[in-house]
Structure 1
Amino acid sequence: MATATRRSKSKPKKDIKHQPKVFTFEWKGVNRDGQRTSGELRGSTIAEIRGILKSQGVTPKGVRKKSASLFKSEKRITAMDIAMITRQIATMLSAGVPLVTTIQLLGRGHEKAKVRELLGNILTEVQSGIPLSDALRPHRLYFDDLYVDLVAAGEHSGSLDAVFDRIATYREKSEALKSKIKKAMFYPAAVVIVAIAVTVLLLLFVVPQFEEIFAGFGAELPAFTQFVLEISRALQSSWYIIAAILFAMVFTFVRAHRNSQAVRDAVDALILKIPAIGPILHKGSMARFARTLATTFSAGVPLIDGLESAAGASGNAVYKKALLKVRQEVMAGMQMNVAMRTTGLFPDMLVQMVMIGEESGGLDDMLNKVANIYEMQVDDAVDGLSSLIEPIMMVVIGTVVGGLIVAMYLPIFQMGKVVG
């Protein structure tokens, strides 16, 4: 650690002339509690990695250089990467490791080059005397205003380790909630896509084979069979037109959603009304609001500013508009629970718990409990939806395939009756 704080002028000349190559090493070992553990570290030699592990209380059992991938690609920095880095910073700061050393060790040991570059830029700023919050501010793509404001509050209060712990918890729970909501949205989409794909494949490749057989019957086909054959012919002759129309519709919608706030607001309001999906999104927005406001309030951020951050973090335009209205009412002197009730959007249970928190002076604790409740409800709802979607998917695909099979075999059945 002493070498991390040395001035550049004290470094030997050979370090300047010849920088050793840095590699990624995979290691396995046993920690202080006797548990097996493993991971990756970056360094120049195996001996160096063994020394780092021993300094961290890990007895190395095996260290080897990680082999390079044949298909090497630059991996982007994800929100989960930032959450993991935040947790590591919180852990190391609470253990008494200096901030500069913490950033230096994390930057050196990360497997992603972009993360190492990001932490290296932040380290350079911090070493030059710039506060950490100011060093994070230019990197808004990874550290949003809420993140930076909380770090600034921790710097002012002298409790940076506690603030990073709150941010880490907030980020981890937010990413877990986001993953659950994506899962809830994925299953219905998967049902529709699979059903359409199976139908198109059957109409393009299977139905034409039956049409050739039917041509030699010399009898009138059943209406259902004729209907399926007409769809198959239209799809074979005009599939490129249909594909172009679908592509144009999707492209137009995506562009309008990206460029028009009114379209985004309308979509956000619409998806809240979708059966089975809407209730999950409602609970998810309330969980994000409660978790964000609890994190900002417990870190010492004023309630007015916390409400603005919570509005942006709610993830839905309907809730954002409602929370900004609550913020205006609170600025005018109204209690938050009263302002929330006037919106007509928040359930009585949430409003009552906010009221209890305001009256008892433990608003952050109460909001954390609310967030935990809604996160558990989202988890249960997603699991229930997953269990429901699987049989629905089987029924939908079975109905589509079964309907096409019946349409193709109806003429054969009728011929059998005539012959009989």
Structure 2
Amino acid sequence: MLYKYSGITKQGKNVNGTIEASGEEEAKKRLKSQGIFYKDISATKEINLKNFSKREMPGPLLSSFSKELSSYLNSGMAILTAIRLIEDQHQKEKKYASFLASLRTMIEEGKSLYHALNSQSVYAMPDFFLQSINVAGQSGKMVPVLIQMGNFFSTQAKIKKQVSSALAYPTFIFVVAIGMVGFLITFVVPKITGIFEDTGQELPPITQFVLSISDFLGNHYIGLILGIVGAIIAFKLAYNYIYAFKKFYDSIMLKIPIIGALIQNHELGRFSYILSLMLASGVSYAHAVKLATTTFSNTAFKEIFEQASHKVIEGNKLSYALQRTKGTKPKRNFMQALALGEESSEVANILSNIAALYQEENDDKLKLLLSLLEPMMMLFIGGVVGIIVAAMLLPIFSMNLGAKI
């Protein structure tokens, strides 16, 4: 991983740059060995062909890997033997087999499972998963951690599948409707209204408006397609590699009604679940908070929890640190539950319950949102089609009225 740093040399000169390391602690050690006293250090992303080709390992596959490996290790096998067995079973899956082969090679060279996962170049792995494996390897709790990680990724994959299935029908209706509207505006409307233009009859304003849209789409459709594709690519690049833009976008998303609540529930629920898993696995509280913080995909939340995690390492409670940290505040019931857990030393149990509660809330809200989405789309599409039909019929009515007069 690439880390961006700013610091001071032994000669008192300010320096800025980047350094490659497997983790933040290793980056700090390398800077220290180079005689650089860092003031700030943070993970960054390097734009290169390797990053574009190295995609994150799919959740279902990561769940399967964790569960299979934990099953073999639980039966008393060595890690190397277990990896070999899994590799033999997945020879037909070329990319996954390549991933397993790279792990096997590095473990045969004497590297740990954590270093093998971190060094392989086939899949990008979630940071919290890597760090969990690192801690599990040091504490001797590899099997329970792998089982819990497998269950976590399996649950996340089910949630994504449920949302995708629920959105499939509305998305299909929307795409078909857009295609029909585009066909009507581009081909049908010009031919019908062209008949009236030949007669010299003045067209109604609504018909002129629809015709202007038709002409624009007909003359610039290639530019529009390229512009949309270019905008999507530019957005993805900006979101992935420009931190300020990503933070601004994530902050805006949290403020959108309903959507913001869904994001908060999802982010806080996932954090709570991972933190409870880490604590149940015997990871220290400060380290578990730091690991769980890496699960945030929303930058606004991640920033405030990262700042709070540094205060937890200094000996403060997480609930206290979050209250004193500037930025987007978590939900009130989360803060209260966390404070209660820290006071009663039952953080793992309480956060596990909070994660289940947020998941249930999101399920209910998603069902309501999706049930309203279909009729809203029908109303919108019906309105657009109605305008097009009116634009075609009004000239006919005008001509009939003119003939009677």
Deviation at 1:415, TM superposition (A): 2.8
For 1:248 and 1:257, the matched residues in 2 are separated by: 14
Mapping 1:281-292, distance limit 5 Å: 281-292=263-274
For 2:333 and 2:395, the matched residues in 1 are separated by: 61
The reply to whether residue 265 of structure 1 matches residue 247 of structure 2 is yes
The reply to whether residue 225 of structure 1 matches residue 207 of structure 2 is yes
- The answer (yes or no) to whether the contact 2:87–2:100 under 8 Å persists in 1 is yes
Deviation at 1:283, TM superposition (A): 1.0
- The answer (yes or no) to whether the contact 1:180–1:382 under 8 Å persists in 2 is no
Q: Secondary structure at the match of 2:297?
A: coil
For 2:320 and 2:193, the matched residues in 1 are separated by: 68
For 1:137 and 1:254, the matched residues in 2 are separated by: 25
For 1:136 and 1:408, the matched residues in 2 are separated by: 63
Pick one of 66, 70, 93 that aligns with 1:90.
70
- The answer (yes or no) to whether the contact 1:207–1:229 under 8 Å persists in 2 is yes
Q: Secondary structure at the match of 1:366?
A: helix
For 2:312 and 2:319, the matched residues in 1 are separated by: 9
**Matched residue, 1:26:** none
The reply to whether residue 370 of structure 1 matches residue 354 of structure 2 is yes
Encode CA deviations 1:207-230: one digit per residue, 9 max, x unaligned. 111122222443222111122112
Query: Structure 2 vs 1, CA of residues 154 and 241 (structure 1 numbering), >3 Å: closer, same or farther?
Result: closer
Query: Structure 2 vs 1, CA of residues 246 and 347 (structure 1 numbering), >3 Å: closer, same or farther?
Result: closer
Pick one of 69, 90, 97 that aligns with 1:116.
97
- The answer (yes or no) to whether the contact 1:195–1:396 under 8 Å persists in 2 is no
Pick one of 392, 395, 401 that aligns with 1:411.
395
**Matched residue, 1:234:** 216
Taking structure 1 as the reference length, what is the TM-score of the superposition? 0.73
Of structures 1 and 2, the larger Rg is shown by 1
The reply to whether residue 387 of structure 1 matches residue 367 of structure 2 is no
**Matched residue, 2:315:** 333
Encode CA deviations 1:276-323: one digit per residue, 9 max, x unaligned. 322211111111211222222223333333323322211101101110
Pick one of 236, 240, 258 that aligns with 1:276.
258
Structure 1 counterpart of 2:359, one-letter code: E
- The answer (yes or no) to whether the contact 2:131–2:291 under 8 Å persists in 1 is no
Taking structure 2 as the reference length, what is the TM-score of the superposition? 0.75
Segments of structure 2 that go 5 or more residues without pairing to the other structure are 1-54
Encode CA deviations 1:255-275: one digit per residue, 9 max, x unaligned. 333331111111111222233
The count of corresponding residues between Structure 1 and Structure 2 is: 346
- The answer (yes or no) to whether the contact 2:57–2:125 under 8 Å persists in 1 is no
Mapping 1:143-292, distance limit 5 Å: 143-179=125-161, 196-292=178-274
For 1:271 and 1:418, the matched residues in 2 are separated by: 54
Deviation at 1:358, TM superposition (A): 1.5
Structure 2 counterpart of 1:126, one-letter code: I
Query: Structure 2 vs 1, CA of residues 269 and 197 (structure 1 numbering), >3 Å: closer, same or farther?
Result: farther
Encode CA deviations 1:139-189: one digit per residue, 9 max, x unaligned. 373434322332233233333211211221222233344556677898998
Structure 2 counterpart of 1:396, one-letter code: F
Between 365-374 and 131-140, report the one with greater CA deviation.
131-140
For 1:257 and 1:128, the matched residues in 2 are separated by: 38
Structure 1 counterpart of 2:184, one-letter code: L
Q: Secondary structure at the match of 2:294?
A: helix
Deviation at 1:240, TM superposition (A): 3.5
Mapping 1:45-84, distance limit 5 Å: 78-84=58-64
- The answer (yes or no) to whether the contact 1:289–1:313 under 8 Å persists in 2 is yes
Query: Structure 2 vs 1, CA of residues 214 and 417 (structure 1 numbering), >3 Å: closer, same or farther?
Result: same
Query: Structure 2 vs 1, CA of residues 272 and 196 (structure 1 numbering), >3 Å: closer, same or farther?
Result: farther
Query: Structure 2 vs 1, CA of residues 324 and 242 (structure 1 numbering), >3 Å: closer, same or farther?
Result: same
Query: Structure 2 vs 1, CA of residues 416 and 342 (structure 1 numbering), >3 Å: closer, same or farther?
Result: farther
Pick one of 130, 147, 150 that aligns with 2:111.
130
The reply to whether residue 322 of structure 1 matches residue 304 of structure 2 is yes
Encode CA deviations 1:336-362: one digit per residue, 9 max, x unaligned. 222233456222221222122212222
Pick one of 102, 107, 114 that aligns with 2:82.
102
User: CA RMSD of the aligned region, Å?
Assistant: 3.0
For 1:239 and 1:145, the matched residues in 2 are separated by: 43
**Matched residue, 1:19:** none
Identical counterparts, % of pairs: 27
**Matched residue, 1:349:** 333
- The answer (yes or no) to whether the contact 1:100–1:127 under 8 Å persists in 2 is yes
For 2:173 and 2:306, the matched residues in 1 are separated by: 37
Encode CA deviations 1:22-75: one digit per residue, 9 max, x unaligned. xxxxxxxxxxxxxxxxxxxxxxxxxxxxxxxxxxxxxxxxxxxxxxxxxxxxx9
Q: Secondary structure at the match of 1:300?
A: coil
